[in-house]
Amino acid sequence: IGMPGLGKTTLARKTYNDPFIVYHFHIRAWITVSQVYEKSDLLLRILSSAQIPLTGETEELSDEILSSAQLPLKGETEELSDERCPCNRRVDKKLGEKLYKSLKGKKYLIVMDDIWNIGAWEDLKRSFPDDNNGSRIMFTNRLLDVVPLHAKPYYMRFLNEDESW
């Protein structure tokens, strides 16, 4: 937690890419969460970042999202509102189940960078199994009110003169 420019994302990225972390977790995923988000988009980006393949019905749902939203298939994302895609609830449920089943029994690290709204976490938390096996979900954000109740926040501070060069 901290104001812009303190290095929250840099510290999280350094941790995420540390060889010990890479070895320690079976699955890792990194997504950036914008102020305006769609649950299905976040789920798809987590699945993609974690290199969890979409197969069968989830692949069809992904195609349905893209065609309903009229998105080019170049990895670009746009807002996928309920108006543009009435299938969102079904899609969200199926993608959430796919993520849950893929993570179940595995030690995972998910980084949600620049999360602005606790609602994003509330929308996604059921998709992450709690196997009590050391899996972790890390947020970077600017505001304390975005931190889940059971989280252990780390507050970034300014570097002193000796630490900063």
157 falls within a domain: no
pLDDT at 87: 64
The set of residues, in sequence order, having a beta carbon less than 8 Å from that of 63 and lying 6+ positions away, is: none
Instruction: Please indicate whether residue 2 or residue 10 has the higher confidence score (pLDDT).
Output: 10
One-letter amino acid at 111 equals V
Contact yes or no for 135/109 (Cβ under 8 A): yes
160 falls within a domain: no
- Residue 65's pLDDT band, with cuts at 50, 70 and 90, is low
162 falls within a domain: no
92 falls within a domain: yes
- The residues facing 50 across adjacent strands are none
Whose tokens are 């976040």? That residue is 42
Contact yes or no for 33/41 (Cβ under 8 A): no
In terms of C-beta density within 10 A (0-12 exposed, 13-18 middle, 19 or more buried), how is residue 62 classed? buried
Q: What is the DSSP letter of 13?
A: H
Contact yes or no for 127/100 (Cβ under 8 A): yes
Structural domain of 16: 8-146
pLDDT at 33: 92
pLDDT tens string 79-103: 444 454 556 788 889 999 999 999 9
| Total domain count, the chain | 1
Asked whether residue 9 carries a pLDDT value surpassing 50, the answer given is: yes
> CA torsion angle for 15, 18, 22, 27 (degrees, to 10)?
20
153 falls within a domain: no
151 falls within a domain: no
What pTM, to 2 d.p., does this model score?
0.79
CA distance 143 to 33: 14
Helix axes 88-103, 39-49, angle to 10 degrees: 30
165 falls within a domain: no
One-letter amino acid at 43 equals L
C-alpha dist (Å) from residue 130 to 97, 106, 115, 120: 14, 10, 21, 18
What CATH code is carried by the domain that includes residue 131? 3.40.50
The C-alpha angle with vertex 113 and arms to 109 and 116, in degrees rounded to 5, equals 130
